Amino acid sequence: MKAGDLLERFQAHDWRALARAITIVENDGQEKPLVMRAAYRDAGKDCMVVGLTGAGGAGKSTLVDCLISAYREEGATVGVLAVDPSSPYTGGALLGDRLRMGRHSGDPGVFIRSFASRGELGGISQGAKDALYLYKAFGFDVILLESLGAGQGETEIRNFTDVTAVVLAPGNGDDIQLAKAGIQEIADIFVLNKMDRPGAGSLHLQLSAMLDLLPAERRPMLVRTAASKGRGIEELLSAIESAYARSEGTRGARERARIEDEIFSGALSRWKEAVKGQVARLADRVSAGELTPQEAAALLGGQIRLGEPFGGGADEEER
């Protein structure tokens, strides 16, 4: 399919065109620059992007499933970007969590796509960041972004969403997560999920005590849910709406942070691809005893010049 035909069908809200466009941008297809330029131009400003992050096992996917149902009952169209751990063998997404959203697969108002994390330290892959523009341009009313995390490093989601919910659960080690500065700073809402389980009361008391120490204007909201039983979802929806209204004054700063992040991460992705061959050649020299790993890293680092391409062979390495 030619790029012009694809964009025409995309603008006509053809779901298959959206899926094809996502595949192009995720795999760095030849048509990606044209597709991304069109998406960036048409990306709507009035859709709400809600992020959910948290450690594995906290129940994020079940919560997303509940939110899909709630927004669909209100008549809103919903796009879901779910970032999964990457397979260490194929690099693809491990799609087990998507089974929890399977009941929405036939709904014409819902589009769900999984993305492999591909080792991104910030918790969101480059493909998911690019696809977010496609979702906005397609015109969803609500976009739900489920990311990996959450640790001190998996905080990028804050820059790409209007509202960020950090999902915690008892018995999941989340009392330790609460002490991490990054977790406290990215949350607009703390969702205490699986609150029908043992240890829920203790986790709630710990988090409440922590939040009481924060200034009122910076204090995240706290919502208790048991998503597997459908409990607390109305309260979560209300908290999301309140956080969205409260975030209006910070959206400009978040957008600026997002743009800077995209420029850096996009460039870094290209740098990684560019140096793979160099790393392999240097690894051969380390294996042969010519260099230590530290010396090889110094040689590679010495070749990095802003505005200059990577490349060169052994002669360049010795300069």
pLDDT tens-digit series, residues 247-300: 887 888 888 888 888 888 778 777 877 788 889 999 999 999 999 999 999 888
Instruction: Grade residue 216 by pLDDT with cuts at 50, 70 and 90.
Output: confident
Mean pLDDT of the chain: 82
Distance CA 262, CA 189 (A): 24
Under 8 Å between Cβ of 169 and 58: yes
Indicate whether 213 pLDDT > 50.
yes
Q: Please state the rounded mean pLDDT for residues 190-210.
A: 90
Under 8 Å between Cβ of 199 and 170: yes
Q: Please state the rounded mean pLDDT for residues 4-24.
A: 92
Distance CA 72, CA 230 (A): 15
pLDDT for 317 equals 42
Q: Which residue has the tokens 């020299």?
A: 285
Report the run of H or E that residue 177 belongs to, with start and end.
helix 174-177
Q: Please state the rounded mean pLDDT for residues 174-182.
A: 55
pLDDT for 178 equals 58
Indicate whether 67 pLDDT > 80.
yes
Angstrom CA distances, 109 to 13, 186, 226, stand at 11, 29, 25
Instruction: Grade residue 310 by pLDDT with cuts at 50, 70 and 90.
Output: very low
